[in-house]
Structure 1
Amino acid sequence: MKKRFAFSTILISTAFMLGTTSALAANTSTGTSKAEITFTTNAAPIIVNPDSPNPNTPYRPQDNGGNTPTGNTGPLTLDYAPNFNFGSNEVLVNKALFKAKDQKPFLQVTDRRILPTKWDVKVKLSTFKDNGGKDSLAGSTLTIDAGDVQTLIGLPINAAPTTGNVTLTPGNPGDAKVILASAAGTFSTWQIYWKGNGTDNDRITLNVPVGVQVEGKHTATLDWTLSDVVN
């Protein structure tokens, strides 16, 4: 009887402990919380140096004889467009082609959109005006050769936009030419870079017929337009 009693006690004790453990495991308490982040495109993208397009080192082209950035904001922006300066030249009876003096002209576009749609940049040239505001340099043409298309250092290369040679006729409203066109999915900052040769820039030329080379300063405006393309 003593052995039987001892055995029964062990069984009862074990059953009691198992029942207690099961009851404790069922007694749980839960809650929920959030992890949250917001992204915006309210600030204009930085302008990067075309010689080393690093997003951590902003570049000020206006400090180096270039144009002022556009300051455009949003998910798809034209950030910077170049000036072209052809310098001071003697009127010669045997010279019609003039090369730009700019050594670092570039165009910059930033695509921060979630939807990978196509886009392009068109450029057109206004009529040249002389110092008195009169139309000048009739019959001239401005040619921009294909530049080097590049993106930010350290970013993976998506399908790069493409570019090619364009020739613009001053004052022709229908003369807007596509100078940069994207494939779908181009999330990055992109540039066309027309790097000079140290003295002139063979990639940007102005052809002015000899008979219209009138003394004085002549200025035209380049209009650059970035647009979504219907896909």
Structure 2
Amino acid sequence: MKKILASTVVSVLLVANLGVNRGYAEMQSDSKTTGHVELVENFEFIDPRDPDDPTQPTTPEDDTNLPTGNVGPLSLDVAPKSFDFGEQKMYQTAHTYQGVQAEDSPDQYIQVTDNRDADVYGWVVTVRQENYLTSDGNILEGASIHIPAGEARCNLNPIPTEIDPTLTGESVEIALEEEKIFYPNVERAGKGTSILKWRSSEVALTIPAKQAKQGNYTNTILWTLTADVVY
């Protein structure tokens, strides 16, 4: 009779231990941590980038294209230093001149950075002459500077060294009226840093017939970046 009672007690203790183990397995303890960030507009100066790879800085020896000093969040960062056609012979017929040492000089480019809000998009770069080429009161009326369509790249393109089809570079004849030269062509394109590059050898000056007079002529080219949706 005593042996039976001892066996019964052991069985009860085993059941009780199993119940306690299941209770610990089901217990859970939690805590929470908050995250925080405040985003503000970016007025950082953007350095000139390599026109063949906008993710990389440009070569330090490039003095053909200069920083503009503009800051964001939407900024025109770089523009050509000059269009120099050197010393040329006069013609009284219409005549076109190529840039000085165009084959040996670096490519020219303009650079735009758009760091505005993600849902704010669209911009356009225009270009015009502020005045025709002038020398001591003589004006080359109707003279225009030709820029080819060029190649557009963006640092946000999956392969930034490849031409970006979401950006358009126009071939323009720069006169006194504004001409669109660079802009995104699809919705939400143009974010990050975008570059339009053209060959210096394809930049040309055309002087109309019966305008040429001796002189050392200069003028000013104005580039303008505007927030605008153009597609």
**Which residue type is aligned with residue 5 of structure 2?**
F
**Which residue type is aligned with residue 168 of structure 1?**
I
Aligned equivalents of 1:227, 1:206: Cα separation in 2: 26
2:143 pairs with 1:144: no
Aligned equivalents of 2:119, 2:62: Cα separation in 1: 35
Structure 1: gaps of 5 or more residues:
none
Q: Work out whether residues 94 and 210 of structure 2, in 8 Å CA contact, stay in contact via their aligned partners in 1.
A: no
* Pair 1:34–1:216, CA change in 2 (3 A): farther
2:212 pairs with 1:213: yes
Q: 2:29 matched to which residue of 1?
A: 29
Aligned equivalents of 1:215, 1:43: Cα separation in 2: 46
**Among residues 62, 65, 73, which one is paired with 2:63 in the alignment?**
65
Structure 1, 134-143 or 38-47: larger mean CA deviation:
38-47
Q: TM-score, normalised by structure 2?
A: 0.77
Q: Work out whether residues 53 and 153 of structure 1, in 8 Å CA contact, stay in contact via their aligned partners in 2.
A: no
- Superposed CA offset, 1:110-168 (max 9, x none): 23341262221111111135454x46211212222211222349744665211222222
Structure 1 position 179, deviation (Å): 0.6
Equivalent position SS for 2:169: coil
Q: 1:81 matched to which residue of 2?
A: 79
Q: 1:165 matched to which residue of 2?
A: 171
Q: Work out whether residues 65 and 109 of structure 2, in 8 Å CA contact, stay in contact via their aligned partners in 1.
A: no
How many residue pairs get aligned? The number is 218
Runs of 4+ in 1 over 4 A off after TM superposition: 25-28, 34-40, 156-159
Aligned equivalents of 2:148, 2:57: Cα separation in 1: 28
Q: 2:179 matched to which residue of 1?
A: 177
* Pair 1:58–1:141, CA change in 2 (3 A): closer
Structure 2: gaps of 5 or more residues:
none
* Pair 1:28–1:152, CA change in 2 (3 A): closer
Structure that is richer in strand per residue: 2
Q: Work out whether residues 127 and 135 of structure 1, in 8 Å CA contact, stay in contact via their aligned partners in 2.
A: no
* Pair 1:64–1:106, CA change in 2 (3 A): same
Q: 1:125 matched to which residue of 2?
A: 129
Q: Work out whether residues 70 and 80 of structure 1, in 8 Å CA contact, stay in contact via their aligned partners in 2.
A: yes
Identity value in percent: 23
Q: Work out whether residues 118 and 230 of structure 1, in 8 Å CA contact, stay in contact via their aligned partners in 2.
A: yes
Q: 2:89 matched to which residue of 1?
A: 90
Equivalent position SS for 2:57: coil
Q: Work out whether residues 146 and 165 of structure 1, in 8 Å CA contact, stay in contact via their aligned partners in 2.
A: yes
Structural RMSD (CA) = 3.0
- Superposed CA offset, 1:3-44 (max 9, x none): 532432233212332343345446543222245667663322
2:103 pairs with 1:105: no
Q: Work out whether residues 144 and 167 of structure 1, in 8 Å CA contact, stay in contact via their aligned partners in 2.
A: yes
Equivalent position SS for 2:46: coil
Structure 1, 3-12 or 32-41: larger mean CA deviation:
32-41
Q: Work out whether residues 149 and 161 of structure 1, in 8 Å CA contact, stay in contact via their aligned partners in 2.
A: yes
Equivalent position SS for 1:110: strand
Structure 1 position 80, deviation (Å): 0.9
